[in-house]
Amino acid sequence: MKYLRCFTVCDARSRSRSRGRQRAFPSRYYANLARALAALAVAALSFTAAALAQTGFPFQSESLQYTINYSSGLSLGDANLSAEKTSTGWDFTVTLDAAVAGYTLKDKYTSSTASGYCSTVFQRDLLHGGKSSREKTTFDAEKQTARRQTEFPNDGGYSDMTTGACGRDAIAFLYFARKELGQGRVPPPQVVYFGSPYTVQPSYTGAQSVTLADKKPEVTDHLVYAVKGPKSDFTVEVFYARDAARTPLLVKIPQAVGTLSMELVR
């Protein structure tokens, strides 16, 4: 349920335009940071308090708040994640608000799904260092295709992709993974879409204890997602609570500059 270097949130041209002379770090650092933060937001997509066995997704709608941190303890910002049941499936929304050394990221991701958590529409609205972009991916289950359309800037163009009968964007996949875990299954490997297609290979490594900001140790199920995209290979670690909702309690993404993490604000 939702996934580094990470899912690409900027294409090569966006990264080129976002370079600035007054940054404290190289532009590649910020590109990697943007990808990692987006991946955190996607990978942690389904967090809920485990006080009641039947609360949160997939039993009811939910709204979740996260903090995003470096391994050094530096706070980068916050993310809000929500899931809303609809008459045809689910709508998922992720908002991200983060900053490092004056470089800001304000992103919004929305995913609409039909039965089976198959995507119908996936949208990304991105603001990175003052540069904005907006794109929309529309899935056609009958044709087994998806069209990625850049809506802003206006000259962004489009691309078509083959998806199979049930194409899933990255957010839809993480919620699908959460549902699979709730039924006692490790989610199968598959291709997911986050602008470009990414191959995701989940692996269950066993039980691990984690301690969040509330200082209460909790035994979790640890999964590692190996992600391979057109220009990047990375891993995402997710620690799932052993509750009925199978909620991820902690997400870690190793980076060259340190580990990024996201955890629930209880």
Query: Domain map of the chain by residue range?
Result: 12-264
CA dihedral for 188, 194, 198, 202, sign (positive or negative):
negative
Does the structure show a pLDDT above 50 at 149? yes
45 compared with 226, residue with greater pLDDT: 226
Predicted pLDDT of residue 9: 36
> Please, what is the average pLDDT of the chain?
84
Q: What is the pLDDT of residues 183-198, one digit of tens each?
A: 999 999 999 999 999 9
97 contacts 103 by C-beta, under 8 angstroms:
no
Question: Per-residue confidence at 25, pLDDT binned at 50, 70, 90?
Answer: low
Burial bucket for residue 82 (CB in 10 Å: 0-12, 13-18, 19+)? middle
Question: Per-residue confidence at 121, pLDDT binned at 50, 70, 90?
Answer: very high
Predicted pLDDT of residue 42: 66
Closest to 186 measured CA to CA, from 226, 231, 128: 226
Predicted pLDDT of residue 26: 63
Provide the whole-model pTM: 0.78
22 compared with 91, residue with greater pLDDT: 91
Does the structure show a pLDDT above 50 at 200? yes
Question: Per-residue confidence at 246, pLDDT binned at 50, 70, 90?
Answer: confident
Does the structure show a pLDDT above 50 at 18? no
236 contacts 262 by C-beta, under 8 angstroms:
no
62-70 and 75-85 as β-strands: parallel, antiparallel, unpaired?
Answer: antiparallel
The average pLDDT across 51-65 equals: 76
Predicted pLDDT of residue 75: 92
Predicted pLDDT of residue 216: 85
Does the structure show a pLDDT above 70 at 165? yes
Predicted pLDDT of residue 51: 38
Predicted pLDDT of residue 28: 66
Q: Return d(Cα 30, Cα 8) in angstroms, integer.
A: 12
The average pLDDT across 57-66 equals: 87
Predicted pLDDT of residue 53: 47
Q: Return d(Cα 266, Cα 263) in angstroms, integer.
A: 9
Q: What is the pLDDT of residues 207-220, one digit of tens each?
A: 999 998 878 899 99
